[in-house]
């Protein structure tokens, strides 16, 4: 009886230790101490992300240390793992789809950390988000989001949507374009299917598939200097070009083994 209790305690303790500063940060924001609350939340999120990557066996590979400062960080989108990878390098506030707020446990943690939610297809919501992003950057905390809007299989980098870049233009904030890619050096199976999450496979099924292929390496590249812009569409195009220039397409074949009922079995490579 004692061992199972100790094992449960060893799992719960790290969650509790990370949850405390996140809750404190949320309370600070509720009483108007936004600057302190946002910084505490971003730092707590970074610690949590680094610990989770270590548990999952995901290693970061960059050409140098992450630059310091409050940037609008724009990256291509391949997987839910992207959030952990970017949070581990850049203490910031994320933009995420509103559906995540309803996810059990994860939704609560993400909301407490100060994530800004996007209502997909609701153009009337953009001005509110732009203002919240500007307030966050004014507080010295970066904002991270994926201008493609959806995760891809890693063949290329899709067009960047410009709407949410208005905060960077109006506030004259620097933007850091980050190119993301993944490899699985100990596995022959394609990371387009084992790491990227863009298909119909449920989250749990995909996570187990990724863990089975062994260590994952996340490759990140960015320019030596951030970009500034005076017009959001032009800025979006320039950021897209910088990300695409450094992007390494994901290996697409062969597919990993599948079980009966796994959507991967019928998705193919078309």
> Each residue of 51-107: pLDDT tens digit?
889 888 899 999 888 888 889 999 999 998 999 999 999 988 888 777 766 665 566
Q: Domain for residue 178, yes or no?
A: yes
Query: d(Cα 202, Cα 77) in Å, to the nearest integer?
Result: 18
The reply to whether 71 falls in a domain is: yes
Distance from C-alpha of 221 to C-alpha of 241, rounded to nearest angstrom: 13
Domain tally, the chain: 1
3-state class (DSSP) for residue 182: strand
* CATH number, residue 153: 3.40.1130
CB 96 within 8 A of CB 132: no
User: What is the enclosing helix (H) or strand (E) of 161?
Assistant: none
Partners of 39 in beta bridges: none
The parent domain of residue 36 ranges over 2-256
Say what the pLDDT of residue 40 is.
81
Instruction: Establish if 252 belongs to a structural domain.
Output: yes
Domain membership of residue 264 (yes or no) is: no
The total of other beta-carbon atoms located within 10 Å of residue 16's CB is 10
Q: Would you say residue 241 has pLDDT above 60?
A: yes
- What pLDDT, on the 0 to 100 scale, is given for residue 107? 62
Asked, for residue 185, whether it belongs to a domain, the answer is yes
Distance between CA 54 and CA 86 in Å, rounded?
A: 14
In a domain, 266, yes or no: no
Cα distances (angstroms) measured from residue 106 to each of 18, 68, 133: 13, 28, 22
Asked if residue 84 belongs to a domain, the reply is: yes
């Amino acid at each position: 009886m004692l061992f199972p209790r100790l094992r449960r305690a060893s799992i719960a303790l790290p969650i509790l230790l990370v949850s405390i500063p996140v809750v404190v940060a949320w309370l600070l924001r509720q009483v108007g101490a936004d600057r302190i609350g946002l910084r505490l939340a971003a730092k707590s999120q970074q610690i949590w992300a680094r610990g989770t990557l270590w548990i999952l066996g995901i290693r970061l590979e960059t050409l140098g240390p992450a630059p310091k400062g409050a940037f609008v960080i724009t990256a291509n989108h391949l997987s839910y793992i992207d959030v952990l990878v970017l949070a581990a390098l850049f203490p910031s506030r994320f933009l995420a789809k509103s559906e995540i707020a309803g996810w059990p446990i994860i939704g609560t943690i993400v909301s407490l950390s100060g994530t800004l939610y996007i209502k997909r297809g609701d153009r009337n919501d953009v001005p509110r988000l732009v203002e919240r992003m500007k307030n966050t950057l004014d507080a010295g905390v970066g904002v991270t989001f994926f201008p493609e809007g959806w995760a891809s299989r890693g063949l290329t980098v899709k067009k960047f949507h410009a709407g949410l870049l208005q905060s960077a233009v109006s506030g004259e904030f620097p933007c850091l374009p980050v190119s993301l890619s993944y490899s699985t050096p100990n596995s022959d199976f394609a990371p387009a299917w084992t790491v990227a999450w863009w298909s119909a496979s449920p989250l749990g099924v995909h996570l187990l598939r990724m863990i089975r292929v062994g260590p994952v390496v996340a490759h990140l590249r960015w320019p030596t200097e951030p970009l500034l812009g005076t017009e959001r569409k032009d800025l979006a195009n320039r950021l897209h070009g910088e990300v695409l220039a450094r992007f390494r397409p994901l290996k697409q074949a062969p597919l990993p083994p599948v079980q009966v009922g796994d959507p991967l079995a019928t998705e193919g490579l078309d």
